[in-house]
Amino acid sequence: MITLRPASDRGAANLGWLDSRHTFSFGNYYDADHMGFGSLRVINEDKVAPGGGFSTHGHRDMEIISYVLEGALAHKDNIGNGSTMRPGDVQRMSAGTGILHSEYNASEQNPVHFLQIWILPEQKGIEPSYEQTHFPATETQGQLRLVGSRDGREGSVTIHQDVNLYATRLHQGESVTQPLAPGRQVWVHLAKGAITLNGQTLTAGDSAAVTAEAALTLTGASDDAEALLFDLAA
């Protein structure tokens, strides 16, 4: 079964420097029917104006993943990490017992467009940690590239939860297929372009919850499709 979550139904927040869309309940947006999906708790699509950003703030007991679509995102935290993310980079921050960090648009001229993803950890109270890895477009074009996993295999970032996170880019007519194992469920988020998912059309910002399907086939319906696939415990 595939249940679509249209982009137009998402929550929204606009602070001038920030234009954000919330797939699940977040901040002042509350929808009892969309509190998350399995261990996946937040997908926020954020567009930050030049020079804008999130000043230092704290998190606890959450796996936080940032995925940049356009522009550059600067990160700094209180455990000694500082970096700038660009398209192709995947950042994982385990908040654990508590972490302070800031995120800013690294450019004074161009906006930054990124996804902020929160996943509930398997265990509370772990030591805070940070990881960032670059995945070239050649590794995601026309294939499902594992970019996050519980065991960090295949060079993916390590997520403290039973989840396999894949990224893919698809040209028009290009397809990838993912089997859905027993006891698993999948969330697909389309970040850019257009695809069909087992024949159903998704456009940028749309998501889909998938259960009780033998396999999923994502086919590009534009030349610039980019999607994330979360394979989660049911």
- In the chain, the amino acid numbered 198 is N
Please report, for residues 66, 103, 111, 205, the alpha-carbon distance to residue 86 in angstroms, rounded to integers and kept in the order given. Answer: 10, 13, 12, 20
- In the chain, the amino acid numbered 213 is E
For the sheet containing 18-22, what is the strand order?
11-14, 18-22, 40-48, 112-119, 63-70, 89-94, 129-134
> What's the per-residue H, E or C state across the chain?
CEEEECHHHCEEEECCCEEEEECCCECCECCCCCCCECCEEEEEEEEECCCCEEEEEEECCCEEEEEEEECCEEEEECCCCEEEECCCEEEEEECCCCEEEEEEECCCCCCEEEEEEEECCCCCCCCCEEEEEECCHHHHECCCEEEEECCCHHHCEECCCCEEEEEEEECCCCEEEEECCCCEEEEEEEEECEEEECCEEEECCCEEEECCCCEEEEEECCCCEEEEEEEEEC
Model pTM above 0.75: yes
What pLDDT, on the 0 to 100 scale, is given for residue 58? 94
With beta carbons less than 8 A apart as the criterion, state whether 184 and 231 touch. Answer: yes
Dihedral of the alpha carbons of 5, 27, 86, 216, in degrees to the nearest 10: -20
φ, ψ dihedrals at 10, nearest 5°: -70, 160
Is 10-134 CATH 2.60.120.10?
A: yes
What pLDDT tens digit does each residue of the chain (234 aa) get?
999 999 999 999 999 999 999 999 999 999 999 999 999 999 999 999 999 999 999 999 999 999 999 999 999 999 999 999 999 999 999 999 999 999 999 999 999 999 999 999 999 999 999 999 999 999 999 999 999 999 999 999 999 999 999 999 999 999 999 999 999 999 999 999 999 999 999 999 999 999 999 999 999 999 999 999 999 999
Domain 138-233 CATH (choose: 3.40.50.920, 2.70.98.10, 2.60.120.10, 3.40.50.300): 2.60.120.10
What pLDDT, on the 0 to 100 scale, is given for residue 90? 98
Distance CA 206, CA 110 (A): 25
Per-domain boundaries in the chain: 10-134, 138-233
Q: Say yes or no: do domains 10-134 and 138-233 share a fold.
A: yes
